[in-house]
Structure 1
Amino acid sequence: MMKACVTILLCIVVGTSARYPCPPECECGELGPHGIACGGEDMTHFPKNIPPNAVYLDVEGTKITTIPKGVFNKLHHLIGLILDQNQISTIEPGAFQGLTNMSLLSLSTNPGLSLTKVDPLILKDIQNLTRFLAQNNKLITIPTKFFSENKNLREVDLQNAGLLELQPGCFSNLKNLFIVDLSKNQIDKIGANVFTGSSNFQTLLLSNSQVKSIEPRAFETQEEMLFLMIDHNMLVSVRSALLGLKNLLTLALNDNKIVSLNEDDFKDLVMLNSLDLSNNELMDTGNALANLRSLGSLNLNNNRLTKLSFQGMPLLTDISVSNNLLQSIPERLDVITHARILDISNNPIQSLPGGRFASLNSLLKLDISNISVIQDGGLAPDALTGLHSLVELRVENNELNKVPSQALSAVKQIQILSLSHNKIETLDENDFVSVSNVSNLQLANNMLAKVPEKALRPFTNLTQLDLSGNPLVHISDWSFGNSTTLSSLRLSNAKLSVIDPAAFHDLKGVHSIDVTNNNLTWLPGDLLKYDRAFPFYLYADQGNPWYCDCQMKPFSEAVNVPGQSVITNIHCSGPEKYKGQNLGDIPLANLTCDCEHQEAPSVDTSGSDNSTAVGQPAKLRCKVGGCPTAHLFWTTPRGFVISPHLTEYTGYDVQDDGTLVIMATVAEDAGNYTCTAANYLGKAEQSHKLKLDIIET
């Protein structure tokens, strides 16, 4: 029975459509049973004999310049009319006659269309219009009575419409108006009478519109407005402009030129939940924020604030005051006991007393990166006391030369710890004992010369480790110990030239390793040689001078086999005949070296200086034998690992022949130096002791 009903319904629909032939320039049924799509670069006029039962008509991408009077007057069933991407510049009076049921009109991307040349009441025949779209035009203005007959209008989208002004009353008395998008225009001023009487208005977007001023009480009748976006404009103040917005939830004023706030600027915003004032020129907020008792999110990043109080904002949960001129921690932290996120990074804060955050026992994220007091003296042992709920801690760009392990003991529960962009040279095996639950550890852009296997042992849930940007020349066997939970390892931009065959062994759970932008020319065949139940991504192609010769043959053989789980994409930098080719496309038999006898390297440090005076230079020589040519690096008594052309350690240089030159020795330079060389067949090393004589004056 149901099949019979469906068949009858289809016959009715098809039969109804079949009564009217489809114009040759159009395709009927493309937008549904009664939808018609017309277009083409050769079309200069609207098609004739459009079926009168059409519900949707889409005419796009034509050379039509004019909408004539009465061209749609037989289309009484039309609901949607789309006239985008044409060359319409003229709309004759009466052009929309007969469209009594239409709810959608789109005139977007008709760059020749200006409303200065159009009858202000051109839309009067579309009584049921609910959506008007005219993005990407050059409309110049919205006439005063343009929408006056469209009482059902709910949405107006004039984004990037070339507007230079809004005439008084152009959006007045539209009781059903819900959202207006005026972003990306050049509207210099918002007058007081533009939106008068549109009482159900909920969203206004004015972003990127070159607005310099808003008249007092411009939105006073929009008591139901919830979202107001005036960001990325040229406002210097908002004096009395926001009065009456008693239900506003979100206000974006970021990226303007606001210098100061008046005490009454936000006095009516009793329901405001989110306020963004970032990227302005505020030096002081005064008492303007003191009565925002519903405020949950406050963004004051990138201003010139020298002080700040949270008095009167008891519901704040998300606070960002980064990149200001704060000399001290903001006042009244005891008021914001519900705070979840606090970002005070990049401020010249001079003091961080112990227990200063003790009242923030609900805080989940704290960012104290680039703080003057930490840069001057490190993070005090009791600085984080009381942060019992903290999940994420960021202490970046603070010139730390060691992990602040004592301070970390107060936040044992954290899961994300970032110490990136500091000057940490070594890691101790006890550095992370108190924060063993960390799952994401970021140590990028420090001065670590070795992978700290002992320091990683305390972690039981570590899944992400970022060591990128460190001067890591060599990753030795079993460097990551038993980090079986690790899923992502970043070693990019790290000066790597040698990775030992078992360096990543026991990382059974790792899904990706990033070694891009290093000095790698080859990889060991056994590097990734163990079974996985999931695909493994080795990001290695970008920024490495891969040399596709015999040294890459074992690796290519290991990863380029059917069914293997390693996914990588390595392109050769040399030899010249393979430059730019994918390693996997080169037959294994062609991966050869020009060696009469291939052998592991040998190392000879004879001829090195045995002693020198403090302050004087020293040269330690390292002659390397073997074929193919091996990578060479030196390990110093201070723990530095230095390879040719490494610039992180000033005063040291490894020359092309392997000689380590110390420009001017210091007392810490005394001790054993080890020269190591490695190729794909093996590794050799030899130590040499340097003695330093102190010259008495």
Structure 2
Amino acid sequence: MWAHLSGVLVLLVLASGQTEAACDCTDTTCNCTGISRVPQDISVPANTTVLNLLNSNIGNFGSFPALAQLQELTLTSNQIDRIQPRAFTPSDHPQLQKVTISNNRINSIQPAAFSELPLLQELSLANNNITSLQPGTFQNLPELRNLSLSYNKIDRVQPSAIDNVPKLQSLDLSSNQIARIQPNAFPSGLVQVDLSSNNITAIDAGAFGNVTLLQQLDLSSNQLRASALLSASVCNDLSSIPGTVDLSDNPWGCDCSGVFPDDLSSCSADIISQIQCTSGGSTSPLTLQGGTVMCSAASVSAYYTPLLLLSVAAMLKNLLM
């Protein structure tokens, strides 16, 4: 009896552990499971426009199957650890507009991996193990607008890493390991840049000087100190950004008894006020008054102390009369 039951259990385990590669297609959308080999395990109609290959065992592939009508491709939650050069080509994928290869094991992207895809607008490589971006990684993508590289291990952005992407508007580099922002690291047409939750301690002069259309810059939850941000060049650069700059949740490391730079008249009050310094055990935002930086608590006390002394003097005079 036990032998019979154990045999049944083995059969059940084997059956549950095996997933046959299969694609379920409705109209022009195909959802495939159990895929481990590309292109061998993929069999979809030639007119497929949306292809989802989720939660499978896809490893590396030299090139993706030619699908002339394909517009959206999702390769989320697989085992991919690198993207080879010309894995996607304009001749095989002329209509491709959106590619998502998130939650994999990608540690490197070879230059020209996505080169010259004429209609690609959105590319997400979030939740991988990418450590650096080589020059020319995203070159010649004339329509790319949104690029997500969040939740990787990128420690720097070289000025030539994101080049020849003329229409790029949104760049998400949040939750990486970037420590320094170098000059001219970003394309000039960017509208939104997310650098939150990194290890940024330094911002070089001119880091955002060429990004003239920027409407939203997120530098929250980094390691910025007041001394680094209050250099005239950095503060002026951030102040020249026409949109909003989020500097919340940084350590700052300053107190209201410290000495602040003499002239920061080109800095905006919004940038200055986001720096929080300690005063009497509590934190106070800085204020900018006539080009002079001071703690709001200090400025308030400086204003009210004479009034308080006058009030006390008047009370004593009345008591003595």
Output the CA distance in 2 between the equivalents of 1:122 and 1:131: 15
Aligned in 2, Cα 1:314/1:276: closer, same or farther, shift over 3 Å? closer
1:130 matched to 2:130: no
Q: CA RMSD in A?
A: 3.6
Distance change >3 Å, CA 267–CA 330, structure 1 → 2: closer
| 1:148 partnered with 2:154 | no
Aligned-partner residue type, residue 94 of structure 2: Q
CA distance in 2, matches of 1:327, 1:167: 42
After superposition, the Cα gap between the structure-2 partners of 1:224 and 1:212, relative to the gap in structure 1 and judged at 3 Å, is same
Shift of 1:152: 1.2
What is the CA-CA distance between 1:320 and the residue it aligns to?
A: 4.1
Where structure 1 has 5 or more consecutive residues not aligned to the other structure, the ranges are: 1-39, 284-302, 336-342, 356-372, 374-378, 383-697
TM-fit CA distance, 1:333:
7.8
Summarize deviations over 1:63-120 as a string: whole Å, max 9, x none: x321225944x62211111111111113253x412x111111111111x2111xx532
- Pairing of 1:252-331 with structure 2 (within 5 A): 252-259=218-225, 260-261=228-229, 262-265=231-234, 266-267=236-237, 270-282=240-252, 306=258, 307=260, 311-312=265-266, 316=270, 319-325=273-279, 330-331=287-288
Q: Which amino acid aligns with 1:109?
A: S
Q: SS state of the match for residue 90, structure 1?
A: coil
Q: What residue identity is the alignment partner of 1:169?
A: G
Distance of 1:209 and 1:329 partners within structure 2: 29
Does the CA contact (< 8 Å) of 1:181 and 1:204 recur in 2? Answer: yes
* Higher RCO (CA < 8 A, seq sep 6+): 2
Residues 116 and 142, structure 2, Cα contact 8 Å, conserved in 1? no
1:351, CA displacement in angstroms?
A: 5.3
Matched with 1:224 is: 189
SS in 2 for 1:204: strand
- How many residues align? The count is 279
Counterparts in 2 of 1:49-448, with a 5 A limit? 54-60=27-33, 62=34, 64-69=35-40, 71-72=42-43, 75-93=45-63, 95-97=64-66, 99-110=67-78, 112-115=79-82, 118-124=83-89, 125-219=92-186, 222-239=187-204, 240-259=206-225, 260-261=228-229, 262-265=231-234, 266-267=236-237, 270-282=240-252, 306=258, 307=260, 311-312=265-266, 316=270, 319-325=273-279, 330-332=287-289, 349=298, 352-354=301-303
For residues 269 and 222 of structure 2, the distance between their equivalents in structure 1, rounded to whole angstroms, comes to: 26
2: CA distance between counterparts of 1:214 and 1:381? 49
Q: The residue matched to 1:180 in structure 2 has which SS?
A: strand
Output the CA distance in 2 between the equivalents of 1:185 and 1:224: 24
Q: Deviations over 1:94-153 (max 9, x none)?
A: x412x111111111111x2111xx532111121221111111111111211111031211
For the 8 Å contact 2:155–2:179, the answer to whether it is kept is yes
Matching of residues 15-34 of structure 1 within 5 Å: none
> Distance between the aligned counterparts of 1:189 and 1:198, measured in 2?
19
Residues 310 and 330 in structure 1, CA contact (< 8 A), matched pair in contact too: no
Q: Closer, same or farther in 2 for the Cα pair 1:128/1:280, shift >3 Å?
A: same
How many angstroms apart in 1 are the aligned matches of 2:222 and 2:284? 24
Write the distance in 2 (CA, Å) between the matches of 1:179 and 1:121: 20
C-alpha distance in 1 between matches for 2:29 and 2:274? 48
Q: What one-letter code is carried by the residue in structure 2 that aligns with 1:204?
A: L
- Please say if residues 65 and 90 of structure 1, whose CA atoms lie closer than 8 Å, have aligned partners that are also in contact: no
Shift in Å at residue 332 of structure 1? 1.3
Q: Look at both structures and tell me which one has the larger radius of gyration over its CA atoms.
A: 1
Contact 1:310 1:332 in 2 (8 A): no
Q: Report if the CA contact (8 A) 2:55-2:76 is conserved.
A: yes
* CA spacing shift, 1:164–1:272, aligned 2, 3 Å: same
Query: In the alignment, is the contact (CA less than 8 A) between 2:48 and 2:69 conserved in 1?
Result: yes
Counterpart position of 1:45 = 21
CA contact (8 A) 1:184 1:207 kept: yes
Instruction: Output the TM-score relative to the length of structure 1.
Output: 0.36
| Paired residues of 2:121 and 2:146 also in contact (CA < 8 A) | yes
Could you tell me how far apart the structure 1 residues matched to 2:240 and 2:166 are? 18
**% same residue:** 20
Are the aligned partners of 1:190 and 1:218 in contact in 2 as well (CA < 8 Å)? Answer: yes
Gaps of 5+ in 2: 1-15, 311-321
Distance between the aligned counterparts of 1:43 and 1:329, measured in 2?
60
